[in-house]
Amino acid sequence: MDSIAVHGLPSCLSDARRLAARLAVPIREIDLHRFPDDELRVTTKPAARTTIIYATLDRPNDKLVSILLACDAFRRDGAERIVLVAPYLCYMRQDAAFHAGEAISQAVIGRLLSTVADRVVTVNAHLHRTTDIGMVFPRIDADNLTALPAIAEFLLQSSLDPDIVVVGPDQESGPWVADLADRLKRNYAVGTKHRHSDQSVAIDFAKPAMFAGRPVLLLDDIVSSGGTLIACAGALREGGARSIDAVITHALFEAKLTDKFLKAGIHSIRSTNSISHPTNAVLLDAVIANALRAEVAHAALGRNS
């Protein structure tokens, strides 16, 4: 039995392959078969003592079932430690019951994954009222890595206008925006967001005049319906922004929304590869591999804790 290996879901196999190559460990594909009634059959290759599953969790429901089934197969095949690498972690936004009768999805998914994995590694998980990833996974190891150094390095390699203002759409984005602006040595501003529904959002800024004639770099963790970025671009245009570009971590939106973004005055959107998407520009390979180096070292020594 191998001491350690990466097993990837088919939908993210190329990212899993690069991770395994960086760590110099074997890569194996998890095979999925969909039955006519939409049930899934999961077939795994031989488990390693430390089995790393690479499965980013956008469009998550089938993937969650695949992970549960794969973990059962790995455990029965002798896996002692299972590490789930999910660069995008689903269901994190519903961290409270906002209306009567709603479930707290974040807690449910945290409990579910804790029953099968020993460690979860993710990137820029959407933690708002939950301040720490350990609160989502109280009984297992968990790491919420930051994409900001990789994003900053990427931006600093391009010709960045000295006058550019880094902008976040809402108070939640404040810490990331301040961090990125600090890394880029640029000014920043944060808006106030009023969400009326999934698609309907309004954003305002305390001092919109500060954008007059200046280029703006919008930063957000997730783009899903696109409503937040579009509303933010509207407020920035009203403030007289010269140009608007965006950089985001998780591109959940459908690629066909690009035209809507262009019409809203957003010239470009660049994302990390946490989710495979045409806007991918910033690779998270190094940040994820670095978080797993200790697993490789421990596995080589035959230690799994």
| Dihedrals phi, psi of 24, to nearest 5 degrees | 55, 50
Site for ligand R5P in 178-207 (CB under 6 A): 201
H or E element that contains 69: helix 61-76
225 near ligand R5P, rule: CB under 6 A: yes
Q: Judged by CB under 6 A, which of 222, 264, 269, 284 binds ligand R5P?
A: 222
Which residue, 15 or 220, is less far from ligand R5P as judged by CB?
220
Site for ligand R5P in 137-176 (CB under 6 A): 169, 172
Q: Judged by CB under 6 A, which of 87, 191, 226, 239 binds ligand R5P?
A: 226
227 near ligand R5P, rule: CB under 6 A: yes
Determine if residue 91 is left, alpha or beta; phi over 0 gives left, psi from -120 to 50 gives alpha, anything else beta: left
12 near ligand R5P, rule: CB under 6 A: no
Contact, 269 vs 240, CB < 8 A? no
For the CB of residue 295, give the shortest distance to ligand R5P in the complex, in Å.
30
220 near ligand R5P, rule: CB under 6 A: yes
SS3 content of the chain, % helix, strand, coil (to 5): 35, 25, 40
Which residue, 74 or 261, is less far from ligand R5P as judged by CB?
261
Cα torsion at 269, 273, 197, 108 (round to 10°)?
-170
Contact, 280 vs 252, CB < 8 A? no
For the CB of residue 236, give the shortest distance to ligand R5P in the complex, in Å.
15
Which residue, 83 or 181, is less far from ligand R5P as judged by CB?
181
Contact, 256 vs 302, CB < 8 A? no
Q: Judged by CB under 6 A, which of 95, 118, 221, 295 binds ligand R5P?
A: 221
CA gap 65, 54 in Å, rounded: 14
Q: By CB under 6 A, which span of 8-16, 78-86, 224-232, 272-280 interacts with ligand R5P?
A: 224-232
Which residue, 129 or 185, is less far from ligand R5P as judged by CB?
129
H or E element that contains 215: strand 215-223
CA gap 179, 197 in Å, rounded: 29
For residue 9, give the amino acid letter. L
Which residue, 54 or 176, is less far from ligand R5P as judged by CB?
176
Cα torsion at 239, 148, 54, 52 (round to 10°)?
-160
Contact, 108 vs 143, CB < 8 A? no
Q: By CB under 6 A, which span of 115-123, 140-148, 178-186, 217-225 interacts with ligand R5P?
A: 217-225
Contact, 22 vs 16, CB < 8 A? no
Q: By CB under 6 A, which span of 144-152, 225-233, 270-278, 282-290 interacts with ligand R5P?
A: 225-233
228 near ligand R5P, rule: CB under 6 A: yes
Site for ligand R5P in 60-99 (CB under 6 A): none
Q: Judged by CB under 6 A, which of 142, 223, 247, 288 binds ligand R5P?
A: 223
Q: Judged by CB under 6 A, which of 224, 272, 273, 274 binds ligand R5P?
A: 224
The count of residues interacting with ligand R5P (CB under 6 A) is 12
Contact, 89 vs 106, CB < 8 A? no
For the CB of residue 172, give the shortest distance to ligand R5P in the complex, in Å.
5
- The residue ranges that bind ligand R5P (CB under 6 A) are 169, 172, 201, 220-228
